[in-house]
Amino acid sequence: MDKVSAIWRTELWHPLSVHYPIAFLILSTILGILIFILGNRHNFETRLRFTMSLLLWSGTLLLWLAFYTGKLAYSVEVRRICDPFVLKNHLYWANVTSFVFSAATITDVLQKIAAIKINKLLVLVTVILMIAGSICLGYTGHLGASLVYEQGAGVHQPASDCSDYK
Amino acid sequence: MKKLILTAAFAAFSLVAFQACNNSGSSSAEVENTDVVPSGTYNGTADKVDPDEKEVYVKTSDGKMLELYFTEQTKLTQNGQTATFDALKEGQNLEVTVEKKGNRLEPMAVNIMQ
How far, in Å, CA of B35 to CA of B104, rounded?
10
CA distance B61 to B54: 22
- Which range has the worst mean pLDDT, A111-120, A140-149, B97-106? A111-120
* Overall domain count for chain B: 1
> Structural domain of residue B50, as residue ranges?
40-112
Position A166 confidence tier, pLDDT thresholds 50, 70, 90: low
Across the range B36-57, mean pLDDT stands at 94
* Range name among A22-31, A59-68, A105-114, B13-22 with the lowest pLDDT average: B13-22
To test the contact with chain B by mutation, choose from A55, A79, A90, A105 the residue with the greatest count of B C-beta atoms within 10 A, namely A79
Contact B30 A88 (CB under 8 A): yes
Residues A76-119 have pLDDT tens digits of: 999 989 999 999 999 999 999 999 999 999 999 888 776 656 67
Q: Is the ipTM of this complex over 0.90?
A: no
pLDDT score of B27 more than 50 = no
Q: Give dist(CA A80, CA B106) in Å, integer.
A: 9
DSSP conformational letter for A157: -
- Nearest CA to B37 out of B80, B98, B96, B85 is that of B98
Decide if B69 is inside a domain: yes
- Specify the pTM: 0.81
Band of pLDDT at residue A161, cut at 50, 70 and 90:
confident
Chain A residues whose CB is inside 8 A of the B71 CB are 79
| A70-79, A148-157, B60-69, B88-97: the lowest-pLDDT one | A148-157
**CA-based radius of gyration for chain A:** 19
Identify whether B78 is part of a domain. yes
Residue B11 phi/psi, 5-degree rounding, is: -65, -45
Q: Do B6 and A112 touch (CB under 8 A)?
A: yes
Pairing of strands B65-69, B104-112: unpaired
Is B31 inside any structural domain? no
Band of pLDDT at residue A41, cut at 50, 70 and 90: confident
Query: pLDDT tens, A123-134?
Result: 889 999 999 999
Edge-to-edge strands of the sheet including B75-78? B65-69, B55-60, B40-50, B93-101, B104-112, B75-78, B81-82
Q: What is the CATH number of the domain that holds B61?
A: 2.40.50.320
Residue B30 is assigned to a structural domain of this protein: no
Answer yes or no: is B24 within a domain.
Answer: no
A16-25, A41-50, A149-158, range with greatest mean pLDDT: A16-25
Residue B77 lies in a domain: yes
In which band, very low, low, confident or very high, does the pLDDT at A8 lie, cut at 50, 70 and 90? Answer: confident
Encode pLDDT of A135-144 as tens digits: 999 999 999 9
How much is the pLDDT for A160?
A: 77
Count of other CB atoms within 10 angstroms of residue A131: 16
A105: left (phi over 0), alpha (psi -120 to 50) or beta: alpha
Residue B20 lies in a domain: no
Nearest residue, CB atoms, B71 vs list A57, A79, A98:
A79
Å between B25 CA and nearest CA of chain A? 14
